[in-house]
Amino acid sequence: MENIRWPRMIALVDMNAFFASIEQADYPEWQGLPVGVTNGRTGTCIITCSYEARAYGIKTGMRIKEARQLCPDFIQVPARPERYVEVSTRIMAALEDITPRVEVFSVDEAFLELTDCQRLWGSAGRMGHLIKQTVHKVSGLSCSVGVSGDKTTAKYAAKLNKPDGLCIIPPWEAQQRLAPVPVTELCGISTGIGRFLAERGVHTCGDMKKLPIGELAQRFGNPGRRIWYMCQGQDPEKLVTQVPAPKSIGHGKVVPPNTRDRAVIHTWLLHMSEKVATRLRRHALEACKFSIGLRTSQGWAGDTLKTAFPTQDGGRIMMLCELVLGEYWDGEGIFQVQVTALHPQPKGQQLSLFGYDTRKVDAFNQVMDCVNERYGEFVLAPARLLKRSDMPNVIAPAWKPFGHRKTI
């Protein structure tokens, strides 16, 4: 079995309690103790926690108050996203020494295409251990690794022996191993799709044989076809190693609950407008269509508005936010704001006979960006942002160590 060459070999690297593990590594006095990371010192919700904390029943998404009831010695640690990104970037670069085909799935997960590396590195077991050793060497942290013949089965395998585990499911065993597994345990099958399948008698992966692939394809298109194969241990999805051009660039932030103070809402919207504009400029992009949202107790209010000409200036984006405040806000409590640039394009791509002169604004923004890049975000910023939220940035779910996804 050790010497059998697999027709396809995929590994999934999953860091163990990544943020909490970094904190414990950087602060040895916290090793072996129940640690939970929150968004800033004033954060009330746990982003992630150490395995020592999990032993008390503490979990991601839990409130600090509830965590302290379960464990009075619980240690709250403010998140340091810049540090987590630094460690992740180092890990992802090291993994490329094993194989050049690495898909960064998230800040703490990556797929590795190992099919053509078998002659170089050996069996799945040897490569699994090599991956774990490589990660530990560059970060001092442990990880769990799953190896199989497709992405979905590899990801499922990675979580079977956590923490610090290695699980290998040969492709010829994948269908049998997945058969008793509930379909909703596979990555990509949400509760909505799970409900659709349950209504048709599909509860486990083994039940999927009862359902014609055409029925899933008719309801969900190509993703439906992929789900059918995923449950058979034959996920056809290839690794995605290139980041496609952005369809949107957005930022949102939770405001103090039930905020009705217009000045506070204005400041939060300006904060998000400037963050969106900074990212557009960083990647030489601009947009003329922006989605502005205000979340109330009844749901989202807002609209998609357009500027006369493409822009990457926070002030012009903020003008749209002010229009939304005037048209769609009736004084009800706000819980979150969101500003998103839609369909950004390379700057200067769209020429206009009647365009306005942006040279002065561009020069000002260039100076501001240079100062902030050197000395820290918003060191130079509109005066109103002195009253912005003191909550730290967070890592975007689709973070990548390169391109427009390299952001927090």
- Which burial class, exposed, middle or buried, applies to 167 when counting CB atoms under 10 A from its CB (0-12, 13-18, 19+)? buried
388, 267 contact by CB (below 8 A): yes
Residue given tokens 């500027």 in the structure block: 307
Cα→Cα distances 406→57, 147, 288, 388, Å: 33, 27, 23, 23
Residue 365: its H or E element: helix 359-375
> Which amino acid does the sequence have at 68?
R
CA dihedral 138→144→149→150, nearest 10 degrees, is -90
- The number of angstroms, rounded, from the C-alpha of 53 to the middle of its chain's C-alpha atoms is 23
371, 381 contact by CB (below 8 A): no
Q: What pLDDT is recorded for position 188?
A: 87
Cα→Cα distances 27→33, 54, 84, 135, 223, Å: 11, 19, 14, 19, 44
Nearest Cα neighbor of 108 from 182, 29, 162, 61 is: 162
Of residues 23, 52, 103, 109, which has the active-site annotation? 109
| CATH fold group of domain 248-405 | Dna Ligase; domain 1 (3.30.1490)
DSSP assignment letter at 274: H
150, 128 contact by CB (below 8 A): no
- pTM summary value: 0.85
Kindly report the CATH number that applies to the domain delimited by 10-15+84-230. Answer: 3.30.70.270
- Cβ neighbours around 166 below 10 Å, total: 21
Q: Length of the chain in residues, anyone?
A: 408
Identify whether 86 is a catalytic site residue.
no
pLDDT tens-digit readout, 160-184: 998 999 999 999 999 999 999 999 9
pLDDT tens-digit readout, 312-340: 999 999 999 999 999 999 999 999 999 99
Q: What pLDDT is recorded for position 351?
A: 56
**Residue 289 pLDDT more than 70?**
yes
pLDDT > 70 in the chain, percent:
97
How far apart are alpha carbons 25 and 287 in whole angstroms? 42
User: What are the residue ranges spanned by the domains of the chain?
Assistant: 10-15+84-230, 18-80, 248-405
Give the pLDDT band (50/70/90) at residue 366: very high
Mean pLDDT of the chain: 92
pLDDT tens-digit readout, 224-253: 999 999 999 999 999 988 878 889 999 998
Give the pLDDT band (50/70/90) at residue 368: very high
- Cβ neighbours around 365 below 10 Å, total: 20
pLDDT tens-digit readout, 337-358: 999 999 999 987 655 555 567 8
Say which CATH class 18-80 falls into: alpha beta
Written as six digits, the tokens of 137 are: 């060497």
The C-alpha angle with vertex 117 and arms to 115 and 123, in degrees rounded to 5, equals 85
How many C-alpha atoms does 229 have within 13 Å on its Cβ side?
Answer: 14
Q: What pLDDT is recorded for position 359?
A: 85
Written as six digits, the tokens of 228 are: 């059918």
Q: What pLDDT is recorded for position 131?
A: 97
Q: What pLDDT is recorded for position 142?
A: 95
21, 142 contact by CB (below 8 A): yes
